[in-house]
Amino acid sequence: MYIKKFLDLGMQPLANRYLTKKDILKKTQEIFYHLEVGFNIKTKLVSILKKIPSKIIFDDKYPYRSSMSRTMILSFKKLAKNIINNYNPNFILEIGSNDGALIRNFSKNKAICVEPCKNLAKITKRMGYKTYSNYWDIQLAKKIKSKTKNIDLIYSANTLSHINDTNSVFNSICHVLTDDGILIIEEPSFLECLKKVAYDQFYNEHVYVFSLSSIINLVKKFNLEVFDIEKINTHGGSLRYHIKRVSNNKFKIDNKVKIQLEQELKNGINKYSTYIKFKNKVINSKKKLKKIFLRLKKRNKKIIGYGATAKSSTVLNFCNIKNETLEYFLDTTPGKIGKYMPGTHIPIKGYNRSLLNEADYAFLGAWNLKEEIFKKERRYIKNGRKFITHVPVPKII
């Protein structure tokens, strides 16, 4: 009733469901769903309208790996240091521990991992961490609490926004967290998404794109409050929320919280008209990007993709850019190499420099890792080769 639709990104496949050669040959039916995005005028929460059950998305073949970029590894390392310095927790629980990129910085007898994707859970188990390969819900929270009573720090990066039932998420967190415990959440920031016209933050897994305003509204129902935030550059601009129980007086609410809220209001994230303006920018972005590809193709330029991200699945399917235009993607993730992009069926090849050098232009699928990639590909750039980006406006760089 309070949710107002503002963006239609068309029919989309599951963004991390890369196809195998067998799928292509057998013409295996892909799951497509209508990707529409709405804004809740009461809670300020931005969400996709058609929510896909977690069990369909997060299975034992989930390809995403947190440790595939230096940017992410360094970000987790720095965070682990800060957690120890600021909170010195007795016991840490990570929800969505992926391949252990953060948890590896903590002692094995003081940390628990929760990771429903069995292929990933296997990695942290092998590293020696107690890992529950389950979805985060109250049953699991009760099971964990019955065994471990002193969890005073819960951390979750890029996971809570993937879970449809936000009440269940925070209820389960409150069940296991000690009274003076701290919850740290890290998620792409909607304000950054707005500023960068990063409509590719929307896909089936990103059920929600949070802002500080919406997080405050979400957690207050559970007597929780945000007392500090950090702006971080991961995933195209994220916010890290430090949250405590309202009853915990050990920490004061930092002024950064007030400043961010003011920024969000100033940028109109509480007004529906802002979302309509955003939609118009997205439509323009599509037109411009298609024009760039068309122009280069007319000049017989070879275009490839760099970073076969879930985000690029949204862009390419929305803009209807297929294999005839973008020949292949290069990526370093083992679970993606040799597969095909969902929907567009663009092949993904293992990264190697000579394949990159065959290209005249590379579409920057991993635009959020631009700095790291540009450093790595200094020579490609020096040789006059170019990248194409769609963020914040489509252009050749």
The residues binding ligand TYD (CB under 6 A) are 64, 68-69, 307-311, 331-333, 336, 351, 366, 368-369, 372-373, 376
Least spacing, CB of residue 332 vs ligand TYD, in Å: 4
The least distance separating ligand TYD from the CB of residue 81, rounded to whole angstroms, comes to 22
Of the two residues 262 and 371, which places its CB atom closer to ligand TYD in the complex?
371
Chain position carrying tokens 């394949």: 355
Classify residue 340 by its DSSP letter: B
Q: Closer CB to ligand TYD, residue 251 or residue 351?
A: 351
Compute CA distances 234 → 208, 346, 366, whole Å: 17, 26, 11
228 beta partners: 242
CB of 321 to ligand TYD, least distance (A): 16
Angle, CA of 47, 53 and 59, to the nearest 5°: 120
Q: Name the minimum Å distance from CB 237 to ligand TYD.
A: 12
Nearer to ligand TYD, 87 or 380 (CB): 380
In this structure, are residues 343 and 17 in contact, taking their beta carbons and an 8 Å threshold?
Answer: no
| Contact (Cβ atoms closer than 8 angstroms) between residue 305 and residue 346 | yes
Task: For ligand TYD, give the closer residue by CB, 86 or 332.
Answer: 332
* Helix orientation angle between 166-176 and 138-147, rounded to the nearest 10 degrees: 10
- Identify which of residues 133 and 332 has a Cβ nearer to ligand TYD in the complex: 332
Angle between helix 310-319 and helix 272-298 axes, rounded to 10 deg:
80
Whichever of 181 and 307 has its CB closer to ligand TYD, that residue is 307
**Closer residue to ligand TYD (CB): 119 or 332:** 332
**Tokens of residue 165, six digits:** 């039932």
Contact call for residues 330 and 21 (beta carbons, < 8 A): no
